Chain A
Amino acid sequence: MKVADLSRTQLTARLRQGMNLCMGPVTVRVHSSLPAITQGIARLYADYVLAADDAFVDFRVSLSRPSGLRRWIKPQVAFFLDGHTPFKPLPLSQAFPMLEWGLNWCLATYLNQYVILHAAVLERDGAALILPGAPGAGKSTLCAALTGHGWRLFSDEMAIVDLASGRLVPNPRPIGLKNESIAIMRRFLPAAVMGEACVDTRKGTVAHLRPPADSVARAGETAPAAWVVAPRYCPGGRGELEAASRGRMFLELVNNAFNYSVVGGAGFRALSAMMDGCECYRFEYGDLHGAMAVFEALAAARRDGHG
Chain B
Amino acid sequence: MGLATETRWRLVADFDILTRQWGGEVVLYHEGSGNTHLLDDVAARLFSLLSHEPATVGEIAAAWGEGAPPRAELETLLGRLQRLDLVEPLAQ
Contacts and interface: CB of A to CB of B under 8 A. Distances in A.
Interface of A: 245-248, 250-251, 254, 260-261, 264-265, 268-269, 272, 275-276
A251 B34 contact: no
A248 B38 contact: yes
14 contacts: A245-B22, A245-B23, A247-B26, A248-B25, A250-B20, A250-B38, A251-B27, A265-B18, A265-B29, A268-B20, A268-B29, A268-B36, A269-B18, A276-B22
Enumerate the 3 nearest inter-chain pairs by beta-carbon distance, A residue then B residue, closest first: A247-B25, A268-B29, A272-B20
Contacts of A250: 20, 27, 38
Contacts of B34: 261, 264
Nearest to A267: B29
Interface string B3-42: 0000000000000101010110111010100101010000
Interface of B: 16, 18, 20, 22-23, 25-27, 29, 31, 34, 36, 38
Given A245-B25, A276-B22, 6 more contacts: A247-B26, A247-B27, A260-B36, A264-B31, A265-B29, A275-B20
Contact of A268 (B18, B22, B38): B18
Contacts of A260: 36
Contacts of A275: 20, 22
A247 B36 contact: no
Contacts of B27: 247, 250-251, 268, 272
Contacts of B36: 251, 254, 260, 268
A276 B34 CA distance: 21
Contact of A247 (B18, B29, B38): B38
A260 B30 CA distance: 13
B22 A246 contact: yes
A245 B24 CA distance: 10
B23 to A, nearest CB: 7
Given A251-B36, A264-B34, A265-B31, A246 B25 contact: yes
A268 B22 CA distance: 14
